[in-house]
């Protein structure tokens, strides 16, 4: 593997801005990803368009065994390069999306290019991860069911792979009251904002800090004018948890919410978005990766659990062993300090190549 070639590929990807919301920009970046992938893997990808959005897949051999999963969309709006330009200084590369997760894609291609055979390998790169993977989720889950293992090229956490991720659920609680004049006859109204206050307290009490379960009221709205008893209100809740059991508990509880005020009505929409990536799903793969790291002279491979979700949550939820955080070493995801340590790209690609080899050989 060659560092100069890696940096050139990374420059091409980072300068192809790809905010999730801009389909034209995402398509243009997909072309860059496809060209780099074809150059290293020897074949063009299958271009899968779902609801107008493009995803890329490479498949090798008749029997898929391992899927390498990543995304090329970013959170950065078009034009960010003018403020946060691509640069490399003293081993540090910067630019929008460099860490999350374009360096991981570069490492993926270079790792696979170093292998004598790719039979059994599937590469799936989607373009909507940063907005919840609405068009690619079914594709990811379907492909995950066909392989023995999934390796996710999301960025590492201070060099550590991610052996557990919290699941997440998102709920909207709509509240209906009855309008009335706030000065003349407030008693004739049913105040949806007051009901909202009760429901906020009810959902907050569902949290279990000891179990790592958070229930966060994140967005609220209600009422129309200052002199009207509010007839409508709305509450959004972000829920995170380590286990499927906790996700199910919260789901049952939120759907069982009841009004505190007579004659008010509530309805709940939303639900689980990503199941947890539990440590049991990654245990064997982490052990194998640790062996590869040690035998390759890369040292001890650390692991960690993180609160954020990724597409690896989807693959773990369908029962496929999944190891996340195999991508770049650096920091500042979604922040102006986003950066990648260039000198760590070859070691991480070496680790990935070794891990893929072991899985193809039946190491799981």
Residues with catalytic roles: 73, 129
Phi, psi torsion values for 202, nearest 5 degrees: -65, -40
- 262, 234 in Cβ contact below 8 A? no
Of the candidates 73, 82, 79, 84, the one whose C-alpha atom is nearest the C-alpha of residue 27 is 73
Directed axis angle between helix 279-295 and helix 345-360, to 10°? Answer: 110
Q: Which of 172, 168, 156, 256 is nearest to 212 (CA)?
A: 168
Q: Produce one character per residue of 265-300: b if its CB has 16 or more CB atoms within 10 Å, e if not.
A: ebebebebbbbbbbeebbeebbebbbebbeeeebee
Range list of β-strands (E), 201-264:
214-222, 232-241
Count Cβ atoms below 10 Å from residue 356 Cβ, excluding itself: 25
Task: Let me know: does 282 contact 164? Beta carbons within 8 Å.
Answer: yes
Report yes or no: 235 and 220 within 8 Å, Cβ to Cβ: yes
Residue showing tokens 């004598």: 116
Tokens of residue 313, six digits: 């949550």
Q: How many CA atoms lie within 13 A of 175 on its CB side?
A: 32
Task: For the beta carbon of residue 176, count every other beta carbon within 10 angstroms.
Answer: 16
DSSP code, position 72: -
Nearest alpha carbon to residue 249 among 219, 205, 195, 217: 205
Write phi, then psi, for 235 (nearest 5 degrees).
Answer: -135, 130
3-14 and 103-113 helices, crossing angle to 10°: 140
């Amino acid at each position: 593997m060659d560092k100069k070639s890696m940096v050139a590929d990374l420059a091409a990807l980072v300068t192809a801005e790809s905010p999730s919301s801009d389909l034209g920009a995402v398509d243009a970046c997909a072309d860059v990803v496809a060209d780099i992938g074809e150059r290293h893997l020897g074949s063009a990808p299958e271009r899968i368009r779902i609801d107008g959005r493009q995803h890329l897949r490479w498949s090798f051999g008749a029997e898929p065994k391992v899927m390498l999963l990543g995304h090329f969309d970013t959170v950065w709006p078009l034009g960010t390069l003018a403020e946060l330009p691509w640069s490399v200084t003293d081993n540090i590369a910067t630019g929008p999306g460099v860490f999350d997760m374009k360096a991981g894609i570069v490492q993926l291609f270079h790792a696979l290019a170093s292998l004598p055979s790719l039979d059994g390998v599937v590469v799936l790169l989607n373009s909507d991860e940063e907005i919840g993977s609405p068009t690619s989720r079914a594709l990811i889950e379907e492909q995950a069911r066909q392989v023995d293992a999934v390796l996710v090229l999301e960025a590492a956490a201070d060099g550590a792979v991610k052996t557990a991720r919290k699941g997440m659920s998102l709920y909207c609680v709509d509240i209906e009251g009855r309008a009335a004049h706030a000065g003349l006859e407030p008693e004739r109204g049913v105040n949806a904002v007051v009901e909202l206050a009760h429901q906020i307290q009810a959902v907050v009490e569902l949290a279990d800090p000891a179990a790592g379960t958070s229930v966060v009221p994140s967005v609220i709205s209600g009422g129309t004018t200052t002199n009207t008893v509010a007839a409508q209100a709305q509450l959004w809740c972000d829920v995170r948890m380590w286990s499927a059991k906790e996700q199910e508990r919260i789901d049952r509880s939120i759907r069982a919410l009841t009004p505190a005020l007579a004659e008010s009505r509530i309805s709940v929409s939303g639900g689980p978005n990503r199941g947890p990536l539990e440590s049991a799903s990654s245990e064997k793969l982490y052990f194998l990766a640790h062996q590869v790291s040690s035998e390759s002279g890369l040292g001890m491979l650390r692991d960690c659990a993180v609160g954020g979700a990724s597409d690896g949550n989807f693959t773990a939820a369908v029962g496929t062993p999944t190891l996340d955080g195999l991508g770049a070493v650096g920091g500042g995801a979604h922040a102006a300090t986003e950066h990648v340590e260039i000198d760590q790209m070859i070691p991480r690609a070496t680790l990935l190549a070794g891990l893929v080899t072991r899985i193809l050989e039946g190491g799981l």
